[in-house]
Structure 1
């Protein structure tokens, strides 16, 4: 690979808000970070760049949810970088990365949602599972999976372009708890695959001419809990096995990575 590291997708959950602290479901409600959340993400930015867990010169794009808590987190994480470095990073606001639209469950705790559904005569045969059952008055898991599949396709397409050009490419994604756990599960091709049936947004959910729009023939959605955890302010690293964009994988070491010449992902090793 000529010393160029395998592309990575670095997912970052926004810092603490009042509702992430209390456990209330926060979809479209546009809350800012708490004072603790602000300090939390400032410290995160200082740590990942000072300790070279992430080389800022390798960041090609940042994709962010449009919600205030995500965009505020982007600014805080990048705060310590010199302005000329920040200017080289393209920041794309993408509606496809917004949190699950919880509908009737917005602002509620899980226990309250369970009681609400019980009062409506639901879940008599099995407990509510958001990953399978979605949200009344909000999004189904199919709708959520479709838009996250679109976002993944764009990012992986950019990674493929950058790899062909020999460009080191870390793409960062700033979003939310359910969205990023779901995103990671789809990255590994979990869940079930379905045809898109022409369900493409018009116009696209972002505005940046340098990001090609990737039409989908199929998409994936979950039918059960992927059993991933990502606390407020948490970071995860997604990448590819054998330097191959067609082999998406979890980077178990996270941000702790060896130099490119020491990577063990040889193309002829399974």
Structure 2
């Protein structure tokens, strides 16, 4: 049974500063580096055939540290389809300051609703429309060949994949949170069907 492991990158500088990050390329914090290494410890002893990550440094850095810690040397495929949701005009803004300016309810809608994007940005629906065709074509393409796959990406690109794998309804996905640096291990049929899930906390 092929295995798919999803990992959200470790804490980034703007996660720490409570800022909307999106496609802005910010590095990991010391905490994020530790989370990436801990993810590697949790995955030590597992084997994979290929790894996927986004075009953003924080995901690539997490994957590199994870591999180093776990003793892995995988071929790595980077693709923009796995990038974080683009937060448009909110990128770089402090989340608390933005809530004070626009109201908690409006910012909550921009952050957590499935279909409402922030100004000039992407909703989760938009992110899924970008991420899932690549997931179906490339990542599940490997799964169908019986390969074990590691994906290190972002909160929203990974949530889109979780939504697809676990058949989460649109009205429930806003409540799904993915912790930084915590591997989600999925056992899949070669047709991509979900057979089991384990969270390595």
Q: Give the TM-score band, short-chain normalised.
A: 0.7 to 0.9
The reply to whether residue 24 of structure 1 matches residue 13 of structure 2 is no
Counterpart pick for 1:149 among 127, 132, 142? 132
Distance 1:127 1:145, change over 3 A: closer
Mapping 1:103-142, distance limit 5 Å: 103-117=88-102, 128=110, 129-142=112-125
2:41 corresponds in structure 1 to 46
Q: Can you give the 5+ residue segments of structure 2 that lack an aligned partner in the other structure?
A: none
Q: Check the 8 A contact 1:132/1:224 in 2, yes or no.
A: no
CA apart distance, 1:160: 1.0
Q: Check the 8 A contact 1:181/1:226 in 2, yes or no.
A: no
CA apart distance, 1:150: 1.3
Q: Check the 8 A contact 2:2/2:190 in 1, yes or no.
A: no
CA apart distance, 1:80: 3.6
The reply to whether residue 159 of structure 1 matches residue 159 of structure 2 is no
Q: How many residues align?
A: 198
1:3 corresponds in structure 2 to none
CA apart distance, 1:13: 1.1
2:199 corresponds in structure 1 to 254
Could you say what secondary structure the match of 1:131 adopts? coil
CA apart distance, 1:254: 3.2
2:185 corresponds in structure 1 to 237
Could you say what secondary structure the match of 2:16 adopts? helix
Distance 1:249 1:136, change over 3 A: farther
C-alpha distance in 1, partners of 2:109/2:120?
18
Larger radius of gyration: 1
Could you say what secondary structure the match of 1:174 adopts? strand
2:2 corresponds in structure 1 to 7
Distance 1:96 1:103, change over 3 A: same
Could you say what secondary structure the match of 1:145 adopts? helix
CA apart distance, 1:12: 0.8
Cα RMSD (Å) of the superposition?
A: 2.8
The reply to whether residue 71 of structure 1 matches residue 60 of structure 2 is yes
CA apart distance, 1:22: 3.1
Distance 1:224 1:255, change over 3 A: closer
* Structure with greater helix percent: 2
CA apart distance, 1:184: 0.7
TM-score, L = length of structure 1: 0.64
Mapping 1:203-218, distance limit 5 Å: none
C-alpha distance in 2, partners of 1:143/1:132?
8
C-alpha distance in 2, partners of 1:226/1:187?
16
